[in-house]
Amino acid sequence: MPMSNKRGIDRILAINQDNSKVFAAQHLERRRYRSIHPTRIAFIKCMDGRIHGPTITKTPLGLIRPYRNIGGRFDMGWDGFQKDFNTWVDFSISKGNYVLVLITYHYSKGDDKHRGCGGFGHDGEAARRSAIQFKREFDEVYTYGGPVSAIVCGVETDSDTMVLHGENDQLCNLLDTGILTESEALDTVKKLFPSLPDQVKIDLSPLVSGNSRHTSEIVASDRPICDAEHQEWVLGIGTGYDWLHIPNQAFITGFYDPRIEQVIEKAATFLLNNARKLPAPPNDFVLMISAPFLCDKGPLRKLAHAKAKFVRELTLEVIRSKVPDLIPYLQLLVGVVNQDNMVFETIDRRDHISA
């Protein structure tokens, strides 16, 4: 929810300017971290703005690769997901790294019917079953315990607590463990996931330790429950949003589901619900389109421009036809992100969108 003197797009650009500086400042920290913990880690997660991997695990920006869709629903048969994921896996393996994927779902312990996963109609159990099913699909492609492995992890959003699903139907709620050192976290990981490669166990342990500390801080702070409720004022379509790491600011969904029009419609409906209830002025919510590129050489940057423009036209078409009541609330920001420095380059800005 916009809470500064800057409005809509200006606030987003200010966040990018600040957080790209933080990302750059953490360059040496990321290098040091990767030298100790080389396993490449991804989060499969919901578009929900309350779930941000680096925040809940206390890890530097740029280490956890996010894959986001409504409800965290994914299918190994999706062409867009296959291409993106396999490219990343090939790169990771070529560097001699293991890959670990955390397939997440989320729920609210206090009020799942209102603060739970909207993508599953606030049914935390359905979200959990979906994550478990996707892990089964994942394990049919990549052998668990090999170079590429996946585990299921719940996130309880009232306290940001991770709930680890072990190999033998064991559950470990990190709210119940107290603060864990990395050594204690490693012991926990070994008990839960004995079949994972030793290096992966070592590299999962700082995330477990980090979440135990983060969760304890949230509980000790007596965070107002309204902070655990939906307050998103941005709808981000595409990828390259790693810099937008302030929790509960944005619904973000990648371009993976082949039924992307349905995803956009549902996400836009969620934002409309927020727009109608949050104390922000009209025309202060942002529809954002982003496409990333890795290197500002050759056609990569231009290809990102082309993709962002295509996604812009498709998204506007869906919102105008399916969720037209959202239009008066929206500004539009379209651009590309250089993943080397997380700087967002604007290619289209509109303070008003025509119906």
Task: Tell me which residue range forms the domain holding 152.
Answer: 37-226
In order, the DSSP letters of 111-147 are -HHHHS-GGGTS-HHHHHHHHHHHHHHHHHHS-TTSS
Kindly tell me if the per-residue pLDDT of 49 is higher than 80: no
Highest mean pLDDT among 155-169, 183-197, 230-244: 183-197
The verdict on 72 and 134 lying in the same domain is: yes
Q: What percent of the chain has pLDDT over 70?
A: 94
**Are residues 79 and 120 located together in one domain of the fold?**
yes
Q: What would the mean pLDDT of 120-138 be, rounded to a whole number?
A: 94
DSSP 78-111: -HHHHHHHHHHHHHHHHTT--EEEEEEEEE-SS-
Both 83 and 170 in a single domain?
Answer: yes
Give the span between the Cα atoms of 208 and 212, in whole angstroms: 6
Residue pLDDT, tens place only, 257-273: 999 999 999 999 999 99
Which residue among 188, 210, 226 closes a domain?
Answer: 226
HSE, side-chain direction, 13 A CA sphere, residue 288: 33
Give the chain's mean pLDDT. Answer: 91
Total domains, the chain: 2
The tens digit of pLDDT for each residue in 225-247 reads 555 456 789 999 999 998 886 77
Q: Pick the residue with more confidence: 230 or 162?
A: 162
Assess whether pLDDT exceeds 50 at residue 279: yes
Q: Which residue has the higher pLDDT, 129 or 51?
A: 129
Q: What is the mean pLDDT of residues 43-57?
A: 88
Give the whole-angstrom CA distance, residue 38 versus residue 62: 13
Indicate if 150 and 276 belong to the same structural domain: no
237 in the same domain as 279: yes
Looking at the structure, do residues 107 and 152 belong to the same domain, yes or no?
yes
Tell me, yes or no, whether 203 and 127 share the same domain.
yes
Q: Name the most confidently modeled range: 117-121, 187-191, 268-272.
A: 187-191
Render pLDDT for 72-94 as a digit per residue (tens, 0 to 9): 999 999 999 999 999 999 999 99
